[in-house]
Chain A
Amino acid sequence: MSTAAGTPATPAATTPAGQLSIPESRITGGRLRDDFRGMNVVWRRELIRFARNRVRIITALVQPVLFLFVLGTGLSPVLKGGPHGFDFKTFLFPGILGMTVLFTAMFSAISIVWDREFGFMREMLVAPVRRSALVVGKCAGGATVATLQGAIIIVLAGLVGVPYSPTLILTLLGEMALTAFGVTALGVLIAARMSQVESFQFVMQLLVLPMFFLSGAVFPLADLPQWLAVLTRLDPLSYAIAPMRTAVFEHIQVAPSLLKTLEPAITWDGWRVPLGLELGLIAAAGIGLLVAAVAQFSRPE
């Protein structure tokens, strides 16, 4: 077997043997660099898939638009009773951003289940990259994609009485990204434990929908009966939606009388939870879930 006869007739074949060989030192190169590359691949792939799948982007818009314009319009008369006309859609808007982020990030995370069995993820799992790097990349990717999907909803702000203020948009994007990261980490943790694709329905019905409904996305959390008040305060998503609603309310005029019922912030037994604590809780939950997801995913089979 000679080199001349052995190599295919490509430009590469004319290069002297060995020049293109991959030096061992390079292959055994830094661990951190390996991990960073792995992370980067997972993240970039997530973005490419998002950008190429127009159908998914558009389908994912249907639900938020229905909630915002159909539910929002339908419920508006209830609030119109007061002296100051207030568009219920404005109240709903931050909740719908939260909903979009929740569903997009969760879907992106759970897709690991089939990706791991039938898809490109299997290929990544056998590469010389630590699984923790793949998990971090996946969380970053899910967070980016969910934030982008939320950004599409932000475009609709003007239609529901939310001003296009740059500070507001930046605040909302930042808070969505933080939320999306936490949700993706939660999803990856679940996916790591999930062996069957069929379980996806359980997760949606038993976790995602309750999280959404109890979060105050579609109704104010003030003046609730005790049992519901407790449940809403236990829902982590409540602490993600409250800051977004606070941000929106800071940029619009709301009559003080209405503000009492529509109170955006969460109260614990009458104590108004500060914005910093709300965001801190989300960040802490995100990091905790990420650590758990990494641990879960790194278990050997």
Chain B
Amino acid sequence: MGSPPPSTVSFSVTSNPQMAGPRTDNSAIEVIDLYKRYGDLAAVQGISLIVAPGETFGFLGPNGAGKSTTIKMLCTLVVPTSGTAHVAGYDVVTERNEVRRRIGLVFQDTTLDDYLTAEENLRFHADLYGVPRVAVKIRLQQVMEMVGLWDRRKSEVKTFSGGMKRRLEIGRGLLHAPRVLFLDEPTVGLDPQTRSHIWNYIHGLRKREDITIFLTTHYMDEAENCDRIAIIDNGQIVAVDTPEALKASIGKDRVEIQTDNNIDAIAALKDRFGLDATESEGAITFHVNGGEQFVPLLFSEFLIPIRSVRVARPTLDDVFMNYTGRTIRDAEASAGERMSTNPWMRARNRR
């Protein structure tokens, strides 16, 4: 991804280079060997990463992997057991308030006040962050229009659907023009249509605002939307890269063909291309680098008529499988078991 342009968007926090500024100017988030233990349980075990300004960085991992714990440390809500982290150039432990002014956070569970109207929720937020009165009015309208809730601003939040609440929270997180926006599972518990709406807002946001986004998800397809992703399992990062590179790193595409004579076709694939193919349910499957480039070659050189072709790219599921030895769904299932014995998590998941 290209580096973001200098701050030309209104509402970005104007930084003064003369001021005693951030320690590191060229990364939005810098984490070195971060650990967090809860008693015997090591929730985060030595995470290191760097996120560039303007980047949308995804944290992908099953439930219980330590995603929320990492976000809480980066947002100064939880003190790391060891290791350091800088957000917007400030240390999350020693320069807590400096970090807090520069980040927006959307929690995994909603933290709106149901009894307040949408606008009141946002106004309280603006007050908490010391947004000047003159800016509040315009900024409020801007973020509420952006998340499509301007005409519902006078409604109490308890009348909102889950998707509307999420959107309102994203708007709220942006109200004070943060440098870095943290989104903890922004789409969890929402129906597919609402999920894709939320993603539209996130994409719009990336275009409009000069902002770094750090989000967590356990949905593979959503991780694809990020510039880069880190795959996290059992509190450790097992891989970091662009989704494309991660998928490429595990190599070959899967090609499925149906022919009039599968036995001859398998033999021909072996002879001519040196490919090992298998047959199942009437289709032949084999793995090859650059599947889409291979198919034309196949048609021009193959004598046996081909009835259908399907080329499948490796998915992030395959990537997760490759690095952890299990699918994310299996990981979820075992995490679910672990969590059901942890009363603390049980309380959290009840809602």
Contacts and interface: CB of A to CB of B under 8 A. Distances in A.
Contacts of A118: 109, 111, 351
Contact of A120 (B12, B19, B111): B111
Interface stretch (B39-47, B135-143, B270-278): B135-143
B152 interface: no
Nearest to A38: B128
B135 A127 contact: no
Interface stretch (A25-33, A223-231, A255-263, A265-273): A25-33
A22 B13 contact: yes
A163 B105 CA distance: 54
B223 to A, nearest CB: 23
A196 B76 CA distance: 22
A53 B11 contact: no
B313 to A, nearest CB: 29
B325 to A, nearest CB: 33
Contacts of B202: none
A125 B97 CA distance: 11
Interface centre among B14, B19, B78 (most CB of A within 10 A): B14
Contacts of A301: 72, 77-79
Contacts of B294: none
Contacts of B347: 117, 196-197
Interface in A115-135: 117-129
B75 interface: yes
A41 B122 CA distance: 11
A21 interface: yes
A159 interface: no
B130 A34 contact: yes
Contacts of B172: 123
Contact of A21 (B13, B107, B156, B344): B13
A13 B132 CA distance: 18
A166 interface: no
B224 interface: no
Interface string B101-124: 100010101011101100011001
A11 B343 CA distance: 50
B232 to A, nearest CB: 21
Interface in B207-249: 207-209
Interface residues of B, number: 59
A122 B343 CA distance: 20
Contacts of B341: none
B125 interface: yes
Contacts of A41: 124, 127-128
A1 B10 contact: no
Interface stretch (A44-52, A140-148, A167-175): A44-52
B113 A120 contact: yes
B135 A20 contact: yes
A8 B146 contact: yes
A27 B13 contact: yes
A20 B10 contact: yes
A24 B14 CA distance: 6
Given A21-B11, A21-B13, A301-B78, A127 B100 contact: yes
Contacts of A34: 130
A12 B100 contact: no
Nearest 8 pairs of A and B residues by beta carbon: A127-B128, A128-B100, A120-B113, A17-B10, A123-B111, A12-B138, A300-B79, A122-B111
30 contacts: A7-B10, A10-B141, A13-B10, A15-B10, A15-B138, A17-B9, A20-B135, A21-B14, A22-B135, A24-B13, A24-B19, A27-B13, A27-B101, A29-B130, A37-B130, A38-B128, A48-B120, A119-B111, A120-B111, A122-B111, A123-B112, A124-B128, A126-B77, A126-B105, A127-B100, A128-B128, A128-B129, A196-B343, A196-B347, A301-B77
Interface of A: 1-3, 5-8, 10-13, 15-24, 26-29, 33-34, 37-38, 40-41, 44-45, 48-49, 52-53, 117-129, 195-197, 300-301
Interface of B: 4-5, 8-16, 19, 72, 75-79, 97-98, 100-101, 105, 107, 109, 111-113, 115-116, 120-121, 124-125, 127-132, 135, 138-139, 141-142, 145-146, 156, 172, 176-177, 207-209, 343-344, 347-348, 351
